[in-house]
Amino acid sequence: MKKTTKISTKIKSIGALLLVLMLSVISVTIYLNQKNVKNALIINIAGKERMLTQKISKSIFYLYHSNELDFSELDQASAEFIHNLDSLKSGNALRGIEAVPTDAIAQQIAKVELLWESFYENAKQFKTLLISRSENEPLLQSKVKAIYSTNNVLLQEVDTLVSMYTLYMEEKTNAIKQFQYGAAGALLLLMIFALYELKTIQSHADEFLEYSKRLADMSDEPKVIEKMKIEAEGEIVEVNNTLNCFIDKVNSALHYSTQAIEQSKNASTKLEEITDEFDSIISEIQDSAAVSKQLYRSEDMVIESTEDLINSARKLQNLKDELDKLILSCKTGS
């Protein structure tokens, strides 16, 4: 009989696959949520760089037209821009920001950094010229125009950086979502497969139970029991093999007991024929007393042997009856 997988092995395998897939989906979902928080932070920082360039330009415009020398807002915005740009470039473990993820974004950050160096240098020179404005008014005006011109280019490149980060985050999120959809589909297929396997196991069990019922519904007349051939799970096959082994023994005992009874009946019939022949011979030689006496003694021996054979046949019949009771008890479950 073909060796099949055990029920316990099937259940353990399906359970393990379900557990692995469910843990994978849960882990990816948690990772995706955390990643979305970090992605939102990174995009927020990149977007804030755009705002800071405008803030710096606005501060320079205000200082230029108000003749004030309070550079605190300008210095604060510049320092924050430098810190954020360094976090995007090299990462920031405290804020949960990873280093630049792709070469394209790294090149864009390098371009922004280069423009920022020129813009920031102009801003620092603006502060120096503003302090001694009366002596450097024409140079101050040209520096302000250079800052405005540089700011527009820097603003456009920062916008491009924000767009690149947004596109990268969306692609990564979509990839993770595709994995989630794939895992969900795999879970669905695995559940369908599990239901199919459970139905197969149930059908094999029903087939075995149906065979057991046929054994119980057999007629009272003993006969050779047909063995069951089934391809099912290991446990059912093992029980079926055990039952078939028992059936082999019962069939063998029935066969031998039936043969013994037939042989004893044949022997008894032969002895009866011999007895009849002796009776006819005795009737023919009744005149010889000595011979008659000897023949009567032989006849007694034959009769005694016949009785022994009849007793043997009776004992074999009793053995067969006991085996019949054994079969009936198996059928009734008593």
Transcribe 195-228 into DSSP letters: HHHHHHHHHHHHHHHHHHHHHHTS-SS--PPPPP
Rounded to whole angstroms, how far apart are CA atoms 305 and 10?
Answer: 65
Higher per-residue pLDDT: 198 or 256 = 198
Those residues with Cβ within 8 angstroms of residue 159's Cβ, 6 or more apart along the chain or in another chain: 50
Per-residue pLDDT of 25-37, as tens digits, reads 777 777 766 766 7
CA distance 190 to 192: 5
Measured CA to CA, the distance from residue 266 to residue 257 in angstroms comes to: 14
Q: What is the pLDDT of residue 77?
A: 93
pTM, two decimal places? 0.53
Whether the pLDDT of residue 334 is over 50: the answer is no
Q: What tokens appear for 183 in the block?
A: 């895992």
Q: Where are the domains of the chain?
A: 7-202, 234-332
CA 246 to chain centre: 38
**Helix (H, G, I), strand (E, B), or coil: what is residue 97?**
strand
For the segment 171-229, what is each residue's pLDDT rounded down to a tens digit? 887 877 787 788 778 878 878 887 887 787 777 667 767 766 666 565 555 555 555 56
Q: Could you tell me which residue, 298 or 319, shows the higher pLDDT?
A: 319
Of the options 1.20.120.1730, 3.40.50.300, 1.10.1200.10, 3.40.50.450, the CATH number for the domain spanning 7-202:
1.20.120.1730
From the list 123, 148, 158, 151, the residue with the least C-alpha distance to 48 is: 158
The pair of structure tokens assigned to 269 is: 């019939």
**Is 213:188 a contact under the CB 8 Å cutoff?**
no
Most confident of 83-87, 271-275, 327-331: 83-87
Q: Judge: domain 234-332, CATH 1.10.287.
A: yes
Does residue 280 register a pLDDT over 80? no
Residue pair 112/81 in contact by the 8 Å Cβ criterion: no
The reported pLDDT for the residue numbered 38 is: 76
**Cα 244 to the center of its chain, rounded Å:** 35
- Residues 146-176: pLDDT tens digits? 888 888 899 999 999 999 999 988 888 787 7
